[in-house]
Amino acid sequence: MRRSPLTFWPGARLPLTMAVRGVGLLTRSPLCAQTRTRIRCPTFPRLRCAGTVAAELRRDEQPSGSVETGDGAASRGCGAAPAPGSKDKPSKKTFSEVQEERREQAQRSVLIHCPNTVSEKKFLKYLSQHGPIHTHFFYESFGFYAVVEFCQKDSVDSLLNRTQTPATGTEAAIPFRSRFLYLKPKGPSSHAAKQSLARSSNHLPPSKRKLFELLCSAESVDDQLNTLLKEFQLTEENTRLRYLTCSLIEDIAAAYFPECTIRPFGSSVNTFGKLGCDLDMFLDLDETRRLSTQKSRGNFLMEFQVKNVPSERIATQKILSVLGEFLDHVGPGCVGVQKILNARCPLVRFSHQASGFQCDLTTNNRIALKSSELLYIYGTLDTRVRALVCSVRCWARALSLTSSIPGAWITNFSLTMMVIFFLQQRSPPILPTLDTLRASADEEDKCIIEGNNCTLVRDLNKIKPSENTETLELLLKEFFEYFGNFAFNKNSINIRQGREQNKPDSSPLHIQNPFETSLNVSKNVNQSQLQRFVDLARESAWFLQQEDGDRPSPSSRQPWGLAALLLQTVAPSKRVQKKLPSERIKSLLESVKSNSTQSSTNTSGKQALSTQP
């Protein structure tokens, strides 16, 4: 029998250290005319359903510069907001529409480990036997991979039917059928000449040095914030890969729960993701429950026999324990599986080696999905929101206020809530309160989860755009000033009502959970971390104020604005050093503190600056 060159990818066991966060080198054909400079046009510029791959292959004689970009929103991720500064109107798709679209796209896709000498032309021709290809891209992540999205799901089935489990030599394969495949060359003819090699492009966040250069040569602080967002936001390919990874994990989980869905949530879907961020996902068994609660006719009610355990939490732990074991022993490409079942929210953490994502798998996390929807709405309503959140997250990371290790640090989620709250305080407000989003909801938007009212308006067209025209530069400065002077000792941050409220407990930082209102999303933050945040916010507010009107010319490559704020460690600036000798900073900060203490006591009634409870 002739061996098919495609085989299912067995659970390869490379060291955990090789599974990196973030995706390595990526390229995707329809994007090559876009602005990312490192993307070079691959050989096949347009692969769309309208034509067969064979027809497209004939077109490769055309100069690659004549490529159409097709989906203009492509490189921006999540199908949500347009790039900052763009004149496009924000997409008004609802969160659920985007999730459905992405999920369906992922189901038509396969992930293939390829030899890096593969000829793109032959590769596409080979796959197009199974049906037209909608789009594809290659990337590197300790191996060379292709994501291929067919136009129809049937094509995936056809491909899988022609794929076989590898026959191994000294090792034994645990057979598993999934859409994660391995393309094996059958002979030298499958390798490409240099000019037709499948190409990948670097898709990691920019290096500090590159970022430094980009920020220094920007024209304004607004331009710097937009540049930062453009460089760090999830790209179209990265977003596709995230949804595809969830879809592949769903195939694995389906071995136990055939009707399950694995849904991504958190920064992968809420428009605030940065390249390299983790992939949060949860096992949704609602469909299984829904099917089993459909009313049956007749005099009897039939129920499945199930195992009963004392609580929901124990049920969650048992399900995750089983899945963790299965991912560890059978899941192709899943390595470093850790079961963290005693956490407040039990989870299984693992690295998906081929995508390079660190994954956190939980169950029954519908409220977290709703929080993601809420952030999606805020991120989509006004183009300034994502740019501001991105720069605040980068600022916090650069100053070690946040960390990838769990601890008493502020989290990105809390920082995002703080930015949203701040934008609700502007005059006129840039973002509506959660109560306003609820008031605009109609009957269909009603949503109660575990007894919590999670109703939100889903149709973004119903929300009037803000009339506020403040610049990003002003907003960033004022954000630092606002939180440098916030009465954390007395007040809580509450985006539901959009105003400061008395703290219900003595946690140093209190940010009310938007849907489970008795909870504090920043309960983990201790006093000293909060104090660091406040000190650095004041310092940064002061620094940006000093910068006003004292800006080097873009060509001078002198660090200024965000570059000086974020990247001083890369290229220490004489200018910054000269302006900020440590003793001088101290005395100036003291004067800022006492001035603002006076003014907050005298004028606005805000509390004194101390963060002591």
Question: With binding defined as CB under 5 A, does residue 345 bind Mg ion?
Answer: no
Q: Residue 263: phi, psi to the nearest 5?
A: -110, 130
d(CA 362, CA 417): 22
Residue range at the interface with ligand GTP (CB under 6 A); choices 126-134, 245-253, 347-355, 410-418 = 410-418
Please tell me whether residue 349 binds Mg ion under the rule CB under 5 A: no
Regarding 178 and contact with ligand GTP (CB under 6 A), the answer is no
Contact 460, 382 (CB under 8 A): no
Establish if 403 lies at the interface with ligand GTP (CB under 6 A): no
Task: Identify which of residues 167 and 405 has a Cβ nearer to ligand GTP in the complex.
Answer: 405
| Least distance to ligand GTP, CB of residue 86, Å | 23
Interface with ligand GTP (CB under 6 A), residue from 267, 358, 391, 485: 267
Residue 281, interface with Mg ion (CB under 5 A)?
no
166: left (phi over 0), alpha (psi -120 to 50) or beta: beta
By beta carbon distance, the residue nearest ligand GTP is: 266
275 contributes a contact to ligand GTP by CB under 6 A: no
**Could you tell me which stretch among 169-177, 265-273, 593-601, 604-612 binds ligand GTP (CB under 6 A)?**
265-273
How many positions of this chain bind ligand GTP (CB under 6 A)?
15
Q: Which of 60, 71, 251, 278 binds Mg ion (CB under 5 A)?
A: 278
In the bound complex, what is the minimum distance in angstroms from residue 179's beta carbon to ligand GTP? 25
CA distance 197 to 40: 12
365 binds Mg ion, rule: CB under 5 A: no
How many residues lie near Mg ion (CB under 5 A)? 4
* Helix axes of 208-216 and 221-232: crossing angle, nearest 10 degrees: 150
Query: Residue 277, interface with ligand GTP (CB under 6 A)?
Result: yes
Does the protein bind ligand GTP through residue 155 (CB under 6 A)? no
Q: How far apart are the first and last CA of the chain?
A: 76
In this chain, which stretch among 16-24, 277-285, 466-474, 493-501 interacts with Mg ion, using CB under 5 A? 277-285
- The residue (of 227 and 412) whose beta carbon lies closer to ligand GTP is 412
The residue type found at 528 is: S
Q: How far from 170 is each of 167, 173, 201, 423, 536, CA to CA, in Å?
A: 10, 10, 36, 61, 58
Nearer to ligand GTP (CB atom), residue 56 or residue 280: 280
552 cis-preceded (ω within 30 degrees of 0): no
Residue 274 or 606 with smaller CB distance to Mg ion: 274
Query: Could you give the 3-state DSSP secondary structure of residue 363?
Result: strand
In the list 178, 371, 383, 492, the residue contacting ligand GTP (rule: CB under 6 A) is: 371
Looking only at residues 392 through 451 of this chain, which bind Mg ion when binding is defined by CB under 5 A?
none
The residues pairing with 33 across neighbouring beta strands, listed in sequence order, are: none
Give the H or E element holding residue 265: strand 261-265
| 78 is a contact residue toward ligand GTP (CB under 6 A) | no
Q: Which is nearer to ligand GTP, 457 or 509 (CB)?
A: 509
Radius of gyration over every alpha carbon of the chain, rounded to an integer in angstroms? 26
Question: Which two three-digit tokens encode residue 261?
Answer: 């869905």
Contact between 368 and ligand GTP by CB under 6 A: the answer reads: yes
Give bridge partners of residue 491 from the DSSP assignment.
502
Query: In terms of Cα–Cα distance, which of 452, 418, 425, 454 is closest to 437?
Result: 454
- The answer to the question of residue 280 lying near ligand GTP (CB under 6 A) is yes
Residue 411 binds which one of Mg ion, ligand GTP, none, with CB within 5 to 8 A depending on kind?
A: ligand GTP
User: Is residue 492 within the footprint of ligand GTP (CB under 6 A)?
Assistant: no
Name the burial class of residue 48, with classes exposed (0-12), middle (13-18) and buried (19+) by CB atoms within 10 angstroms of its CB.
Answer: middle
Chain position carrying tokens 């490379």 = 14
Please tell me whether residue 239 binds ligand GTP under the rule CB under 6 A: no
For 225, residues 6+ apart whose C-beta sits below 8 A from its C-beta are 84, 387, 388, 390, 391, 472, 473, 476, 562
CA atoms within 13 A on the CB side of 60: 19
Write the CA distances from 522 to 71, 265, 343, 529, 573, integer angstroms.
Answer: 39, 19, 16, 11, 35
Does 284 contact Mg ion by CB under 5 A?
no
Residue 507 as a binder of ligand GTP (CB under 6 A): the answer is no
The one segment of 263-271, 458-466, 478-486, 492-500 that binds ligand GTP by CB under 6 A? 263-271
Candidates 266-274, 448-456, 502-510, 524-532 — which segment interacts with Mg ion by CB under 5 A? Answer: 266-274
Query: Using the rule CB under 6 A, which residue among 8, 95, 182, 413 binds ligand GTP?
Result: 413
Question: Which residue in 412, 492, 494, 529 binds ligand GTP (CB under 6 A)?
Answer: 412
CA distances from 525 to 209, 312, 417, 500, 521 (A): 32, 28, 14, 19, 9
284 binds ligand GTP (CB under 6 A): no
C-beta contacts of 385-388 below 8 A and 24+ residues apart: 385/419, 385/420, 385/423, 385/430, 385/431, 386/81, 386/84, 386/229, 386/233, 386/271, 386/272, 387/84, 387/225, 387/226, 387/228, 387/229, 387/472, 388/225, 388/419, 388/423, 388/472, 388/475, 388/476, 388/479
Is residue 267 involved in binding Mg ion (CB under 5 A)?
yes
251 binds ligand GTP (CB under 6 A): no
Of 272 and 542, nearer to ligand GTP (C-beta) is 272
* Binding positions for ligand GTP, 305-364, rule CB under 6 A: none
**What residues between 92 and 111 interact with ligand GTP by CB under 6 A?**
none
d(CA 508, CA 530): 7
Binding positions for Mg ion, rule: CB under 5 A: 266-267, 278, 280
By the criterion CB under 6 A, which residues form the site for ligand GTP? 265-267, 270, 277-278, 280, 368, 371-372, 411-413, 513, 521
